[in-house]
Structure 1
Amino acid sequence: MNNTVLEFECIGMDNGSKFPIEYTGRGQDVSPEFVIKNLSPNAKTLAVTLEDLSHPIKDFTHWVIWNIPATDRIKKNIPAGKSVPMLGNAYQGVGYGLHRYAGPKPPKGKKHTYRFTVYSLDCEINISANSMKRNFLKKAEKHIIQKGSIIGEFE
């Protein structure tokens, strides 16, 4: 992996700000739109994870999706399913959202911190959609060209 930070924007949410209600389990629970700013010309695919950094289980995974064809924009409201035809049959793995996006929904009155990470990779990652984030990261480790993160809070 080179050390280039992948710059991206999460539409409706600045780094360090509060999650818009529509992206949460208390709203419409839809995945946000991402605009990729400095994608490497060597990128073949993208992957996105959403983790709850405040959860008792370290970096608790809410969402993991990989094999999105390299692009400068990932549309919002990605539908549930192991395979996502609108994204070149990208795979959604196993997390709090089982083969789907599951936005923040901490216990009432508790503020949790969440992290979106977007990865650019030099290939497709050939693992089952029944894989978890750790399986994806292990297989992707030598293929990650860039990665970047945005932090958000929700209570």
Structure 2
Amino acid sequence: MRTAEEIMSAAKPMIDRLSDGLKVVGSGNTAGLVGMIAAINTVQADHVHTVLLLKPTAIIFAIGILLFAGSYLFLMYSYIYLETYLALLHPNVEPLPEEQIRLVRAEPPKLASVSYMHWSLILGLGSTFAFFLGFVVAFVGLVRY
């Protein structure tokens, strides 16, 4: 069986990379929303077709921001449950001499960590999709302007 340090050293780089990727997607969606708000206030009233594309694009970017926030929250939950799992699996003081009892107690945090990581990935991919969809719609609006 692997030690707690080996498990954490294997999981930490993946969590760090996912965290950095989510930050990039969140920044992109935020920049897109700010850009759409600025464009809505800048585009002249005689370009109604462009304004009709900019408003849904702003909503798409806002949805991307909400998906990013949920994804990052679930990533942090996953990390917390991973630390809880490792603390139960390898406690500093050995209060339970039987390894089986420790493994049974450690199973719920492990499942919670995996579940939250799963939801973090799904929401992160949704946020990425929202960014690219918003980018394409904004590009169409720019070309039509």
TM-score (norm 1): 0.21
TM-score (norm 2): 0.22
Tell which structure's C-alpha radius of gyration is larger.
2
More helix by share: 2
